[in-house]
Amino acid sequence: MNHISESDAKSIMGRNMIGREEIANLTSMNFLLGEFVPEIQYSKDELEKKKEDYILILGVSQFEDGTLVTIRNLKEKMGMDPNISEPCFYNQDWYDNEEFIDIPMKDGWFLIRKEVYENSRAVQPTELMEKINFPPAINCTYAFFLSWYILDIKIWYHDFVWCSDTDHNGDRIYVGKYHDVDGVNKNGFSIHRHLALRPCYGGID
């Protein structure tokens, strides 16, 4: 694989890229960049194929105060009340004791798709996993907020995306759908779990 420089990647991806300079300018988040910038592991050909539908993002694992970039810590920074500030998280706490929200962002580059595949809608995640490698929930969360702030793009604004994480019961995590088109729920980045059928579920009359 022929790795490329950040400047060459930028020339390919255009606005669909969040690199060191863009993150450094996002002073409201205070990410700890340091001096080291990981090598871009993608080839020129791969970036050319994905430049329209994906965003290339530099993942950063820590904030300047030394805390890790996790869903829990992003939630603390972003808040949960759209009446105070946006973007924010949807006001929910079911996952506060789940392990996946403390998994830190990894230092390094990753590609993430801006929109769901149309043929993946309403398809069970177990079936989709045969064809798609779901991203970690932290990558999705990080990408959502940085894309909003830096690129002024609201990815998955009305859609949920499946993640590679599961909760303590093994139920699949899905995130996204910032805005409820029906106007029932307040705005906010949502995190949910897909409940699998178990013997404790049953019907009555």
Say if CB 141 and CB 147 are below 8 A apart: no
Contacting residues for 14 by C-beta, under 8 A, at least 6 apart: 51
In this prediction, residue 185 carries a pLDDT of 83
Say if CB 81 and CB 88 are below 8 A apart: yes
**Confidence category of residue 68, pLDDT binned at 50, 70, 90:** very high
pLDDT above 90: residue 193: yes
- 92 vs 103: CA distance, rounded Å: 19
% pLDDT > 90, the chain: 86
Report residue 150 as tokens: 């830096």
- 172 vs 194: CA distance, rounded Å: 5
Report CA 114 to chain centroid distance, whole Å. Answer: 10
Q: Is residue 123 situated within a structural domain?
A: yes
Report residue 102 as tokens: 């403390």
In this prediction, residue 48 carries a pLDDT of 97
Q: Which residue has the tokens 């899905």?
A: 174
Structure confidence by residue, pLDDT tens digits, 166-187: 999 999 999 999 998 877 789 9
pLDDT above 70: residue 2: no
- Residue 98: count of CB within 10 angstroms of its CB: 21
182: containing domain: 3-194
Q: Is residue 113 situated within a structural domain?
A: yes
Q: Is residue 53 situated within a structural domain?
A: yes
Q: Is residue 201 situated within a structural domain?
A: no
Structure confidence by residue, pLDDT tens digits, 71-111: 999 999 999 999 999 999 999 999 999 999 999 999 999 99
In this prediction, residue 109 carries a pLDDT of 97
Nearest by Cα to 144 from 88, 195, 72: 88
For 45-54, 95-104, 183-192, 196-205, which range has the lowest pLDDT when averaged over its residues?
196-205
Buried b (16+ CB within 10 A) or exposed e, 3-25: ebebeebbebbeebbbbeebbee
Mean pLDDT of 117-132: 94
Q: Is residue 68 situated within a structural domain?
A: yes
Ramachandran region, residue 12 (left: φ > 0; alpha: ψ -120 to 50; beta: rest): alpha
pLDDT above 60: residue 148: yes
Helix axis angle, 137-146 to 71-78, nearest 10°: 30
State how many domains the chain has: 1
Average pLDDT score, the chain? 93
Q: Is residue 89 situated within a structural domain?
A: yes
Q: Is residue 199 situated within a structural domain?
A: no
pLDDT above 70: residue 1: no
Q: Is residue 104 situated within a structural domain?
A: yes
